[in-house]
Amino acid sequence: MGPLQGLRVVEFAGVGPGPFCCMMLSDMGAEVVRIDRTAPADLGIPLDPKFNLLGRGRQSVALDLKKQDDVVTAKQLIAKADALVEGFRPGVMEKLGLGPDECLKSNPRLVYGRMTGWGQNGPWANVVGHDINYIALNGVLNAIGETGRGPIPPLNLIGDYGGGGLYLAFGLVCALLEARTSGKGQVVDAAMIDGAASLAMSFFGQKAAGNFTNQRGSNILDGGAHFYSCYATRDDKYIAVGPVEGRFYQELIERLGLKDDLPADQYDRAAWPEGKRKLAALFKTKSRDEWCALLEGTDVCFAPVLDFDEAMDHPHNKERGLFVEVAGVRQPGPAPRFSRTKPAIQGPPSRPGQHTEEVLRRWQIPSTASRRSADESGSSA
């Protein structure tokens, strides 16, 4: 019953942002069919399909795209789809005979989503890379880390999933809405280097205004400010405080009894190092749970820093149903939420080729085996 119910998407198997995008589309109700390779492929860190949560909610068709019969099957699936998602290097789909020009001939309304790191053009377009490389070249990685230390990779959340998968999903839905009016499909060129730069939009603005420096750990939101940072507690756990607004900052220092010890002007950068030292010393005097008892639910912008296991059992997250269990694996549920067309996980991750015959039958496409038999019968006749 999700908002994308009735939408058909063909996904060419990949890693990272493409699967993340298609997981989101599936969670929102789209029918997404993944085309997997017939032979095992090197798709990054080895993982049992059961735990490949980015692959949830889709059925899998296994095809050998080096064989013309299987290319024909892929084209027939694409001809009946609303959208396509692929994450190969520029030119690969064209060499397979599955590029956008070819696909749009048979399906003029098709929205053709392309996911790459560097984009479809430019001198680096065909260079191998990963999240860490894309956010290095657009300036984002340089901004993340502590003073006097090197940049810290922020997992692969910014390039792969934020700048890649989310922007591709947004682009696909935009193009699908436009196609309803024009009757014409188009290509969506989603590049992680573009999307991750877009995510950092406000910081480029702050830099232009002179409010953001290239020195890591010296800005308001990168841990430089004493009022926006993580602090260790007596039991070697952590808490996070972030009262950026003046009234919330005043409440923090009053509740901590530090009104005369911390600067009244929280944006006095010269006072930040001393402010951090005083807060660090104070927060070390109690356990994380003791600080939770004192500060949770107040307007000081406070939260305990939880690990994945703790997060799944926190009362707020449990009441919200933030995490769900599918086929014995606990995982985040669909987001965002809708009041009427509620999204849902359509099933656990599938094994490559698990649903080949079922999907081809439902989409009314002859299997390669039956097509081959028909061709042989015709030849013998």
**DSSP type of residue 156:** T
Rounded to 5 degrees, what angle do the CA atoms 292, 293, 296 make? 55
Backbone angles phi, psi at 276, to 5 degrees: -65, -40
**Residue 94, amino acid:** E
Contacts 24+ apart (CB under 8 A), 243-248: 243/299, 243/300, 243/301, 244/220, 244/301, 247/299, 248/299, 248/300, 248/301
**Residue 142, amino acid:** N
The SS3 assignment for 12 reads strand
- Quick check: is 130 catalytic? yes
- Quick check: is 268 catalytic? no
Q: How far apart are CA 230 and CA 240, in angstroms?
A: 4
The residues, any chain, with a CB within 8 Å of residue 320's CB and separated by 6 or more, are: none
The residues, any chain, with a CB within 8 Å of residue 249's CB and separated by 6 or more, are: 227, 243, 266
Residue carrying the six token digits 């999307």:
195
Catalytic hit among 27, 70, 131, 160: 160
The residues, any chain, with a CB within 8 Å of residue 257's CB and separated by 6 or more, are: none
Which residues sit opposite 325 in a β-bridge? 330
Q: How far apart are CA 74 and CA 361, in angstroms?
A: 14
Q: How far apart are CA 192 and CA 17, in angstroms?
A: 9
Q: In what order do the strands lie in the sheet with 31-37?
A: 59-63, 31-37, 8-12, 83-86, 111-116, 186-191
Q: Is the separation of the CB atoms in 368 and 70 below 8 Å?
A: yes
Catalytic hit among 69, 130, 189, 314: 130
Q: How far apart are CA 266 and CA 126, in angstroms?
A: 47
Which residues are tagged catalytic? 130, 160
